Amino acid sequence: MNTADYISRHINGEGKILEVKELVENKTEELKDRVSKLNRKPKLAIIRVGGDYASGKYVANKIKRCKEVGIESEVIHFPKDVDQMTLEWEILRLNVENTDGILLQLPLPKHLDEYYLTNLIETEKDVDGFTIGNMGKLMLNQEGNIACTPKGIMTILKENHIDVNGKDVLIINRSNIVGKPLSMLMLQENATVTIAHSKTKDLETKIWNADIVVTAIGKPNFFEAKDFRPGTVIIDVSINFDENGKMCGDVKKSDYDRLVEKGCKISPVPNGIGQMTVLSLIEQTIEIAERNICYK
């Protein structure tokens, strides 16, 4: 089979960069409208520990989005040497207060038990979807809060009319934040899912055979256009920085044009999944409020 025939058989529509600017703008307006119909503003509480620069940027972005859609937000900021009991009491306080969503900004300093503290958050208020309760609900296909990055990935696929039904999906990540919950969401949509990781053999072949590749390995510019077959949908989740300090993903940015020429669709870094993750967090806070607040 020559190259032209191969491409014609495997490309499903034209290649494109899956920009999210318009999607974020439209979704923001939709969320504003949903908030306006509630009899009080939803509220998101964010617990932050220490002065990590990246965490600070993430929190600032979340606060900005809260303001844009009209929901309340509160940041409870502790020094990096805060003791575990102080955080325990703060989470328990928020559990019983008039707060819709509670978020424990990760990662935490090593002296704190991240797993234990996360699971102190009431399941209903766990806006990140990281607790055992919400993970279990996802596994059993029951209604609950979903990890925000996987939720954002499914949104960007849906809004770009990319059907995962019957597709071979490769997720190169097995974390509790991305890989595991995303695999469940894909299975719910009838995809055939493979999870790859650092011990996976023959990754190159698995990538080439996949219809949709989600990469979150955290290696700057690790993949090139030649690694993907024509027509592949590529979701780049990683936020990396190259040798010049510029933000990039796992897929080489200079190869985007070549990927589009091959009929591939790719989410860019920046201005891709990162924005969708924050928007999903805000949307999920509103969804929690809608289940508990009377409408006007």
List, by residue number, the catalytic residues: 62, 105, 128
Cα separation, 19 vs 163, whole angstroms: 18
Closest CA to 45 of 112, 108, 119, 128: 128
Closest CA to 46 of 26, 33, 31, 60: 60
Amino acid occupying residue 2? N
Closest CA to 127 of 110, 105, 154, 153: 105
The distance of Cα 155 from the centroid of its chain, to the nearest Å, equals 10
Cα separation, 187 vs 190, whole angstroms: 5
Secondary-structure percent of the chain, ordered helix, strand, coil, rounded to 5: 45, 15, 40
Query: What DSSP letter does each residue of 100-144 carry, written as one string?
Result: SEEEE-SPPPTTS-HHHHHTTS-GGGBTT--SHHHHHHHHTT-S-
